[in-house]
Structure 1
Amino acid sequence: MTTTYAVLSEGLEKRFGQVHALRGLDLAVAEGTVCGMLGPNGAGKTTAVRLLTTLLAPDAGSARVAGHDVVREQDAVRRRIGVTGQSASVDVELTGRQNLRLFARLHGMRGATGRGRADELLDRFALSDAADRAAGTYSGGMRRRLDLAASLLTRPRVLFLDEPTTGLDPQSRNQIWSAVRDLAAEGTTVLLTTQYLEEADQLADGIVLIDQGRAAVTGTPAELKARIGSYAEVVVATEAALPQAAAVLDRLTGSEPHLDAARRTVGAVCPDPTLTLPRVVRELDAAAVPILDASLRPPTLDEVFLRLTGAANSRKELVT
């Protein structure tokens, strides 16, 4: 069966003075899927979104969104996409209902059509009770839901979400996740940029790891995890035992261990499928390392990112 791509780019390049933001970015996002675009700050995620949504022109390369060229057919692209940026774009002095009706008019939806669509989205995003309050009185999560509702007024074929849950509390983040799942189930293609690896793991059908302006690695979450094997983690009894545990894991796995002094844990990626947990425990015991717990488990996307892109300094940027 032939795959139809909602987003397809080849060799996208973009410079800002001396900064080479994109260095030949290739993307292929199948229709009706959620694609998670991951990467540390400065990797090029937001630049890619701005190019694909026609807000910037590429210096080189090409891209098509919903079947239309982002340079030669900008109007056609804009009619078929929705965009939610990193910060809410709603007018805080208008009510939620007024915001959506205003956006509806800007999209050419007049009279009862625009009013009906606004009311439908207010209900869908659980904002009906607050619809006639000024948006400035909304919580951060409510504003993000209102912003997402505005991007869906025209029922876009492709929705771009640029770090939509940054700064939200867990409950508000879960509400956005639920909305994204519903949209994907209805056939909307979603391209999601995020610094929350759990978010990508929860939502994405496919993942693109962006490193220095390129697509360094692509695949499903399960495929990316399988590429690096398992993850060995040890909880030691004392902080002084961390270096000893790290030396044992370094020898057993051949990977650089990651130490967390606050949690008294040492972990390392284990590409060797023959390594077993009993062997890890025996080696730690032989080295007289006092341990409280040990595990050998599938890796998280955080560990996948660090291993596959070599972005050793990006952990703090990617995990909260």
Structure 2
Amino acid sequence: MTTAVKRIFFVMAFVLLTACGESSASYETYHNQRYGYTVEYPVLLVAQGEATNQDGQKFISEDQAIELLVYRDYKNDYLSGGDLYSIEDVYQEHLSVSEGVFNKKLEDSSYIIEYKIDDILHTDYALLHGDNYFNIRFSYPEKDQERLQGTIEHVIKSLTLDPADLSAQGQEDGNAQAAGLADTFPAFLEGFLSDVYLRENFNHVLRSNDKTLATYIDPNMDVRRYYAPGTVAKLGSRAEDFGFTQGDDFSSQTKAGEAAVLEFITADVNPCDLDFYKNKIVYYKWLHELPELLVDMETFATKSVEVIYPAAEIMAVYIADSYGNPRGFYFINTPNGWKLAFVDDSLCQA
């Protein structure tokens, strides 16, 4: 099918969806096996494939103007022992970071917030079930608001959960190990933040052979640091002092000590687009592969970064640095558990 024909098909589908009434709209069904939830999405949106961690999926219109994201996550307060935030706490936090809110509603176990950024409208819906938050996020042009209202309501109402799947599905398929790793990682991350990162200046801790940090490092792998002395990232080992210079900060305390929320994000989220909201949010996600290194400025050839556990899972953590930019920490699942393997201070460089 040519691009022109696809575009015509999309326009016809959108017109039929909106002009013929909600009862005539056509939907496909997406079922998430890992977390046992189902949602219907309009046929005018194209499924993009499940996220690496199988928590959900994105659907985008042919012209890229309309996006739907459905996913599961959880929000907990690691500073108070990892207690789950209440629906009201999450609702208020969501409101505090949302600009241009024009509609909002909080119920016993769910909430909806609608807001406008430039000429794009956003509808965010969250449902709390047990310890899990199930999320539906729409973004679309303001001009399509009236046409899409019924569709958005339908998608939200179509969200159904299978409680049995929430606890048993991970044991029934090949995702059991990944599910367990994702569920236990927050507790590990809380320990790392409390024991190491929030204790004192991390650059100082890293280069001083700190004994506490050493418990979070695999001695056979050690830790390396991405840094960008110019526009090209390099990788520094301990023998190279991790690429640090005299101009780097080794004294100031991290501002992330005020962080209150661990938030899981899908694998396709760009860390440069994250909003750390006054350094109160720590993000983490599955990482399919480590960032490559540029080896030829003329051909832009790159090379992969190798580790001694090539098939191991990788989890990326993003914390705001003293300038509000994301600083990456890449943890490898080794035979002895999660271990810090890389620090990335080259993110979002010009």
More helix by share: 1
TM-score, normalisation: structure 1: 0.26
Q: TM-score, normalised by structure 2?
A: 0.24
More strand by share: 2
Higher normalized contact order (CA 8 Å, seq sep 6+, divided by chain length): 1
